[in-house]
Structure 1
Amino acid sequence: MTRLVHLSDLHFGLERAALIEPLLERVNAARADLVVVTGDLTHRGRSAQFAHAAAFLRRIEAPLFAVPGNHDIPLYRLDDRVMQPYLRYRRDISENLEPVGHVGRLRVQGVNSVDPMAWQRGQITAAQMRRVTDRIEPDCINIVALHHPLQQRPEIDKALMRGAPEAVALFELKGVDLVLSGHLHIWAAGAFLPPDGRGMLQIQAGTALCARETDLQNEFAVLDFDGSDLLIERHVAPMDQPGFLSPQFLRFTRVNRRWRAA
Structure 2
Amino acid sequence: MTRILHLSDLHFGYERQALVAPLLDRVNAARPDLVVVTGDLTHRGRSGQFAAAGSFLRRIEAPLIAVPGNHDIPLFKLTARLARPYRRYCRAIANDLEPVAHVGHVRVQGVNSVDPTAWQRGVITGAQVRRVIGNLDPGCTNILALHHPMQQRPEVDKMLMKGAPEALRDLQSAGLHVVLSGHLHVWSAGAFLRDGQGGVLQVQAGTALCNRPGDRQNEFAVLDFDGPELCITRHVAPMSEPGFLPPEQMRFSRRDGGWKSL
Report TM bin, short chain: over 0.9
Q: Which residue of 1 aligns with 2:93?
A: 93
Runs of 5+ unmatched residues, structure 1: none
Q: Which residue of 1 aligns with 2:217?
A: 217
SS of 2:259's partner is strand
Q: Quote the offset at 1:199 in angstroms.
A: 3.3
Q: Quick check: 2:196–2:257 contact (8 Å CA) kept in 1?
A: no
Q: Quote the offset at 1:18 in angstroms.
A: 0.2
Q: Which residue of 1 aligns with 2:238?
A: 238
Deviations 1:133-156 (A, max 9, x none): 000110110000000000000000
Runs of 5+ unmatched residues, structure 2: none
Deviations 1:52-88 (A, max 9, x none): 0000000000000100000000000111000000000
Q: Which residue of 1 aligns with 2:61?
A: 61
Deviations 1:16-54 (A, max 9, x none): 000001100100000000000000000000000000000
Q: Quote the offset at 1:256 in angstroms.
A: 3.3
Q: Quick check: 1:218–1:237 contact (8 Å CA) kept in 2?
A: yes
SS of 2:61's partner is coil
Q: Quick check: 1:45–1:73 contact (8 Å CA) kept in 2?
A: yes
SS of 1:91's partner is helix
The 5 A counterparts of 1:161-200 are 161-200=161-200
| CA distance, structure 2, for counterparts of residue 101 and residue 54 of structure 1 | 19
Matched, 1:127 2:127: yes
Matched, 1:7 2:7: yes
Q: Which residue of 1 aligns with 2:146?
A: 146
Q: Quote the offset at 1:228 in angstroms.
A: 1.4
Q: Which residue of 1 aligns with 2:158?
A: 158
Instruction: Provide the aligned C-alpha RMSD in A.
Output: 0.7
Q: Quick check: 1:199–1:257 contact (8 Å CA) kept in 2?
A: no
Q: Quick check: 2:195–2:258 contact (8 Å CA) kept in 1?
A: no
Output the TM-score relative to the length of structure 1.
0.99
Deviates more, 1:251-260 or 1:107-116: 251-260
Q: Quick check: 2:229–2:255 contact (8 Å CA) kept in 1?
A: no
| CA distance, structure 1, for counterparts of residue 245 and residue 125 of structure 2 | 39
Q: Which residue of 1 aligns with 2:110?
A: 110
| CA distance, structure 2, for counterparts of residue 81 and residue 69 of structure 1 | 13
Q: Which residue of 1 aligns with 2:30?
A: 30
Deviations 1:165-191 (A, max 9, x none): 001100100010000000000000000
Q: Quick check: 2:195–2:259 contact (8 Å CA) kept in 1?
A: no
